Amino acid sequence: MIGGEWVEGDGAAAATINPADDTAVAVYHPADSRHVDAAITAAVAARREWDEMGIIARGLILRRSAEILADRAETVAVLMTREQGKTLPESRAEVGATVETLHYHAAQARSADGVTYPSSHPDELIRTVRRPLGVVAAITPWNFPLQIPAWKLAPALLWGNTVVWKPASDTVAVAAAFAAILVDAGIPAGVLNMILGPGSIGAELVAHESVSGVTFTGSVPVGRSIQAATVPRGAKVQMELGGHNAAIVMPDSDPAQAAAVLVGAAMGSTGQKCTATRRIIAVGEAYDDLVAELTALVGALSVGDGSDPATQIGPLVSARAAKEVAAAVEQALEEGAELLARAPLPDSGGAYVAPTLLAGTPALTVCREEVFGPVVTVLRAENLDEAIDIANSTPFGLTAAVFTDDEHVVRRCIRELEAGLVKVNAPNTGSELHAPFGGLKDSSFPAPREQNAASSADFFTWSKTAYVRPGAPRSRR
Ligand code: NDP
């Protein structure tokens, strides 16, 4: 979608595939370099009018987009399950959360947008003023094909930026449905442009000199390449990358309660959440009871087509993803991991990998490198010191959790766990859209690092400080 028009690319047809049954969902002709240039040109041309419309009017358009998405919720949820594979309840929850996200940012239009300061000159007013960055590029992954784009597009647009969006190639139909909703809500031509194409199109987009800000969620290697393409020219860049999230279970916690929460956090969305629990660290006597509970729960998970109401865990997003996750499990077993539980798989085709519970040590590759699927490893620690060391032993720092009733343990974990989100007696996954979300270490790149909450305005605007003194009236003769 370029300058308000749906344009067909010239490349060979590409398709997205339903990972539950290998059927095609959407067929499209990918964009090429000319479309990247045209989209950026359209976004540059639309800047002034969008800026001059004012934030209240822009907020009303976002509010309308929330209403339209709510009207189309079931259609979009069904499409998401077909294209991405997540279960229908998961898709419905994502659509609902996206409606809330759009409402939240729409309402920000009426918040205070600056600060005033006293001046050494009594008549002078000093105040901060927010100005849009200009053209923002948004590059989004397939695991939350609606929610993550909304986190980025809604504040970018609200604060007066025009946008070129490159969604993930595996979920283009959901992306097109969302773009259509924004257009139907009244986003003017050229303000939001969307190009469908491979990662190389995204690389061209972020390297373009007219792009002043880049917001990205995805893998660490792509994030690093975007950093290299943007930072030297002074473009603002915000990125949310992978995670290797640990949960510490203390002996004073209830093993059944901890296991139920952690299986949901590790296996929900088929483990394809950057915040998913990847390592469960059982301290001392917690180990045996916890492992017994986890083993029973993981072995009983029902895996299948996400549109079947009996399904708890859907397929991976694609055959390629399933192959990578299955290979990582095999490698872990070759390296000496113990297989504690594996859920049964459906007989049909599809991109399925059995939810898998392993036991092992921090040296396993699966405990150091992110495996983006339904695989979790239980580790032993003698005491809290060792558990915190293990939790902090990867380059990532997205989320961490601790299960305990001991306030001293809670305080230490909040202080010492190297993660942007620390959860206590709660799943690693899940966050409120009005609270800052972002990782530490390799999981994020600052400027600022958080998404959501007030910090999104800090990323999507430049702040200026204005010093205003009254003018001296020209003396009348
Ligand atoms: P990728 O980094 O491969 O892809 C993410 C997006 O970047 C896609 O739109 C992709 O396009 C695009 N892209 C690919 N190559 C380039 C490039 N060279 N320049 C610019 N854009 C490019 O990640 P995955 O699709 O594998 O997504 C899963 C990863 O994302 C996981 O590692 C996960 O941890 C992370 N993630 C992090 C989250 C967080 O909030 N911290 C949330 C969700 C996921 P295309 O699809 O066409 O390849």
Q: Is 321:373 a contact under the CB 8 Å cutoff?
A: yes
Q: What is the pLDDT of residue 454?
A: 74
Q: Which residues line ligand 1 at a C-beta cut-off of 6 Å? A: 139-143, 166-170, 198-199, 202-203, 206, 217-219, 222, 225-226, 240-243, 274, 370, 372, 398, 443
Q: Alpha-carbon distance 259 to 282, whole Å?
A: 11
Ligand 1 atom with least separation from CA of 205: 20
Ligand 1 atom with least separation from CA of 444: 41
Q: Which two tokens stand for residue 310?
A: 């009996």
Q: Alpha-carbon distance 296 to 278, whole Å?
A: 18
Higher pLDDT, 450 or 111: 111
Mean pLDDT over residues 456-461, rounded? Answer: 93
Identity of the amino acid at 313: I
Q: Is 229:207 a contact under the CB 8 Å cutoff?
A: yes
Residue (of 262, 290, 266) closest to 375 by Cα position: 266
What tens digit of pLDDT does each residue of 173-202 get?
999 999 999 999 999 999 999 999 999 999
Ligand 1 atom with least separation from CA of 142: 25
378: enclosing H helix or E strand: strand 375-381
Residue 19, phi-psi category: left (phi > 0), alpha (psi -120 to 50), beta (remainder):
alpha
Between the CA of 140 and the centroid of ligand 1 the distance, in Å, is 6
Return all residues near 214 (Cβ < 8 A) that are at least 6 apart. Answer: 136, 137, 138, 139, 206, 226, 230, 235, 236, 237, 238, 239
Q: In 3-state terms, what secondary structure has residue 422?
A: strand
Q: In 3-state terms, what secondary structure has residue 118?
A: coil
Mean pLDDT over residues 318-341, rounded? Answer: 98
User: Residue holding tokens 């952690």?
Assistant: 262
Catalytic residue numbers read: 240, 274
Ligand 1 atom with least separation from CA of 437: 40
What count of residues does the chain have? 477
Question: Pairing state of beta strands 399-403 and 245-249?
Answer: parallel
Between the CA of 222 and the centroid of ligand 1 the distance, in Å, is 7
Between the CA of 2 and the centroid of ligand 1 the distance, in Å, is 22
Residue 476 has pLDDT above 70, yes or no: no
Q: What is the 8-class DSSP label of residue 425?
A: S
Between the CA of 166 and the centroid of ligand 1 the distance, in Å, is 11
Q: What is the 8-class DSSP label of residue 2?
A: B
The dotted CATH code for 245-424 is: 3.40.309.10
| Overall pTM surpassing 0.85 (yes/no) | yes
Residue 281 has pLDDT above 70, yes or no: yes
Q: How confident is the model at residue 279 (pLDDT cuts 50, 70, 90)?
A: very high
**Which of 86, 101, 143 has most ligand 1 atoms within 8 Å of its beta carbon, as the pocket-test mutant?**
143
Residue (of 215, 230, 196) closest to 151 by Cα position: 215
Q: What integer best gives the mean pLDDT of the chain?
A: 96
Identity of the amino acid at 237: V
Residue 417 has pLDDT above 60, yes or no: yes
Give the CATH fold of the 14-241+445-467 domain: Aldehyde Dehydrogenase; Chain A, domain 1 (3.40.605)
Return all residues near 461 (Cβ < 8 A) that are at least 6 apart. Answer: 130, 131, 132, 133, 159, 160
Q: Alpha-carbon distance 408 to 402, whole Å?
A: 12
What tens digit of pLDDT does each residue of 330-369 get?
999 999 999 999 999 998 889 999 999 999 999 999 999 9
Question: What percent of the chain clears pLDDT 70, i.e. is strictly above it?
Answer: 98
Q: Alpha-carbon distance 154 to 36, whole Å?
A: 21
Q: Alpha-carbon distance 365 to 328, whole Å?
A: 8
Q: Which two tokens stand for residue 397?
A: 């720092």
Neighbours of 7 (CB within 10 A): 16
SS3 content of the chain, % helix, strand, coil (to 5): 40, 20, 40
Between the CA of 442 and the centroid of ligand 1 the distance, in Å, is 14
Residue with the smallest CA separation from ligand 1 atom 13 is 199
Between the CA of 141 and the centroid of ligand 1 the distance, in Å, is 5
φ, ψ of residue 369 to 5 degrees: the values are -105, 145
Q: Is 90:76 a contact under the CB 8 Å cutoff?
A: no
Q: In 3-state terms, what secondary structure has residue 98?
A: helix
Q: How confident is the model at residue 42 (pLDDT cuts 50, 70, 90)?
A: very high
Q: What is the pLDDT of residue 477?
A: 62
Q: Is 280:290 a contact under the CB 8 Å cutoff?
A: yes
Q: In 3-state terms, what secondary structure has residue 136?
A: strand
What tens digit of pLDDT does each residue of 83-132 get?
999 999 999 999 999 999 999 999 999 999 999 999 999 999 999 999 99
Q: Is 139:153 a contact under the CB 8 Å cutoff?
A: no
Extended strands (E) in 196-329 = 211-217, 236-240, 245-249, 277-283
Ligand 1 atom with least separation from CA of 221: 2
Segment among 10-24, 85-99, 390-404, 437-451 with least mean pLDDT? 437-451
Between the CA of 134 and the centroid of ligand 1 the distance, in Å, is 23
Question: Pairing state of beta strands 245-249 and 338-342?
Answer: unpaired
Residue with the smallest CA separation from ligand 1 atom 30 is 218
Residue with the smallest CA separation from ligand 1 atom 28 is 218
Q: What is the pLDDT of residue 446?
A: 64
Q: Is 102:61 a contact under the CB 8 Å cutoff?
A: no
Ligand 1 atom with least separation from CA of 222: 2
b/e per residue 373-386 (b: at least 16 CB within 10 A): bbbbbbbbbeebeb
Residue with the smallest CA separation from ligand 1 atom 22 is 199
Segment among 167-181, 319-333, 407-421, 462-476 with least mean pLDDT? 462-476
Residue with the smallest CA separation from ligand 1 atom 27 is 218
Residue with the smallest CA separation from ligand 1 atom 32 is 219
CATH 3.40.309.10 domain position(s) in the chain: 245-424
Q: What is the 8-class DSSP label of residue 133?
A: -
Between the CA of 462 and the centroid of ligand 1 the distance, in Å, is 26
CATH 3.40.605.10 domain position(s) in the chain: 14-241+445-467
Residue with the smallest CA separation from ligand 1 atom 21 is 202
Identity of the amino acid at 105: H
Residue with the smallest CA separation from ligand 1 atom 35 is 218
